[in-house]
Amino acid sequence: AAPAQAAAVEKIRPLLTPEEADVFRRGRNAQVHSIPSHASRAQYSTATALEALFGWLYLGGQRQRASDLFDVMMEE
């Protein structure tokens, strides 16, 4: 859900390379036309950015990097 994804982003944001941060920022700034009622606009934008980043990493063949960032997000 968007609120949980938005919270998890804060764990990895300092670890992002400049290129990853750029992809994240472009994903966050993407125009969305509807926002679920369970999330704020900021949470939804951040969750969209996170999904864009992981999609970019996956499609770019950087699966280990995606896995490493995911592991950091899931740490308690």
For 1-53, the pLDDT digits (tens) are 788 888 889 999 999 999 999 999 999 888 776 676 777 888 888 988 999 99
Beta-carbon count within 10 A of 37 CB: 5
* Tokens encoding 56: 């970019």
pTM: 0.85
* Tokens encoding 17: 């390379």
Q: What is the pLDDT of residue 59?
A: 97
Q: What is the pLDDT of residue 31?
A: 77
Q: What is the pLDDT of residue 33?
A: 65
- Name the H helices within the chain: 2-12, 18-28, 41-59, 63-74
Beta-carbon count within 10 A of 70 CB: 13
CA end-to-end span of the chain, whole Å?
17
Q: What is the pLDDT of residue 30?
A: 80
Q: Which residue has the higher pLDDT, 35 or 67?
A: 67
